[in-house]
Amino acid sequence: MTTDSITQKIRQHYAELSAADRKLADLLLRQQAGLVGYSATELADLAGVSKASAARFFRRLGFADFQAFRAELRRGAAQQSPLQRMRQTARKTGTPQFAQHIEADTANLAALREAVDDVTLDATAELLARARSVFIVGYRNSHATAFYAAAILSQIRPGVQLLDDAAGHQAEQLADCGAQDVLLVADFRRRTSRLLPLVTAARAAGMRVVVLTDTPLSDLTAQAALVLHCPHQDEQMFDSYVGAISLVNFLATATTARVRKPARARMQRIEELHRALGDFADAS
């Protein structure tokens, strides 16, 4: 079940809802993607209704309880494969148009501005600047964002490591981690079950976790010190990561501003090494 079908179900029952139920319905209709990650008690508090009213509301929608609602929404999100999207987009749009593609990516960037607040951005940049070490991880579709984050953060500060499980050395990489270190996690659909044990181990070691994710339903958010939500849309066959890449780019710039002098010295040394190694064919 997708957010669209949940919205349709709420609207079908809206006229029959009590005043308390409508408060919850309005809350979900306004910000459904950001609220379903909360507990039923937290949702009731946000809507200003009792927990009993919230329980009755989800039963009216056809769910045994709030956990059943959230589990169904999780399953729906996990089923959004490119194969299914190919069928959906073919029915909706026929031949893809480049202008529509650009419009969709532009909408993603606009949604990102609304989804991430300045306080969270500042706190994240501060963590990335002050941490003893920054470990970065992302599997499957998330790997490209994680790789990009490691590539640019390593230019401005030491101690940046990409946790790549291809060599099977993640246990060794994390063995000496603690409260002075940060784990930056890219968590985008379709997700792998391998990520949760790694984050759990990092938290047990005292590491602070920052999660970049496209859903508040991720089990990782409960273990995160900071969560940066990167909205996505369902009109394209393949998920767009333009928002995530833009966000990582900004975080690197904001982190540099906090460590400007050592960052400049490090980047200068890196440029000298590039010249000594003959890395580039031209001066660009």
Which residues have a Cβ under 8 Å from the Cβ of 9 and sit 6 or more positions away?
A: 61, 62
Per the rule left: phi > 0, alpha: psi between -120 and 50, beta: everything else, 211 is beta
The C-alpha atoms of residue 37 and residue 218 are separated, in whole angstroms, by 8
Q: Say what the pLDDT of residue 62 is.
A: 83
Q: Say what the pLDDT of residue 238 is.
A: 76
pTM for this predicted structure = 0.71
Q: Say what the pLDDT of residue 35 is.
A: 56
Q: Express each pLDDT in 25-47 by its tens digit.
A: 887 766 555 555 667 788 888 88
Q: Are strands 208-213 and 226-229 parallel, antiparallel or unpaired?
A: parallel
Per the rule left: phi > 0, alpha: psi between -120 and 50, beta: everything else, 227 is beta
Q: Say what the pLDDT of residue 162 is.
A: 95
Which residues have a Cβ under 8 Å from the Cβ of 24 and sit 6 or more positions away?
A: 43, 44, 47, 49, 53, 54, 57
> Closest by alpha carbon to 211, among 246, 244, 235, 236?
244
Q: Say what the pLDDT of residue 76 is.
A: 58
pLDDT below 50 — which residues of the chain? 1-2, 79
Q: Say what the pLDDT of residue 96 is.
A: 67
The C-alpha atoms of residue 20 and residue 3 are separated, in whole angstroms, by 21
